[in-house]
Amino acid sequence: MSRTLAVKLAVGLFCGGSASAKFVPFANVEELKPQRIDQFCGAETFASADGKQLRHCEHHFKKQLDDGGDVELGWKMDVDPDTILSLDTEAEHGVRLTKCSPSELELELPESHARHATDGQLVVGSRFIHGCEHLGDRHLYHRVTKVHAQQWGDASGKRVSRVRLATQELASIAHAIPSWTFHFSWMPVEAK
């Protein structure tokens, strides 16, 4: 198992979700599809070194595959899950990325997600959903630095905010979440 594939799987769990029809989980294991992170976080908060309130989040998964092989994934991170907008997991709730560049994002946010149009929020998306040409096969990690415009309207009978955000494009998940660990293992049946 290459480290690159392991990183892509872990990043996919952080970014993505069942909303993307293009995303096919490793070995068709549905449990490896990305999910909302907050379900894996404790309720207690603690202050980070820079004074931000964080929660400890972790998940571990192990399963025997249909062919007899084994797959295992685990991760841990200290983060405020309420500051992260995952394009993948939230697409099914009406979140849409309509335009992107290295320094700007345009989004459609349902009223329930409009709080993400604020400075400091993190917008993430797997390569399976973002559609940003400049990123190619890389995942999207942007930190909001300024709200340029916000306009409210209706879409399919629901109140929607169309926002244009100045952002800082981050090189990797390590720039977005400074403290996280993960492990992934796959044992094909032939290697047992």
Query: Using one digit for the tens of pLDDT, what is the confidence trace for 32-59?
Result: 787 899 999 999 999 998 898 999 999 9
| Predicted pLDDT at 71 | 93
Arithmetic mean of pLDDT, 100-121: 96
| Predicted pLDDT at 14 | 52
| Predicted pLDDT at 17 | 37
Arithmetic mean of pLDDT, 155-170: 93
Q: Residues of the chain with pLDDT > 70: what percent?
A: 87
Distances (CA, A) of 22 to 9, 91, 130: 15, 13, 11
Summary mean pLDDT of the chain: 87
Arithmetic mean of pLDDT, 142-149: 97
Residue pair 110/154 in contact by the 8 Å Cβ criterion:
no
State how far the Cα of 49 lies from the Cα of 47, in Å rounded to an integer.
7
State how far the Cα of 184 lies from the Cα of 189, in Å rounded to an integer.
16
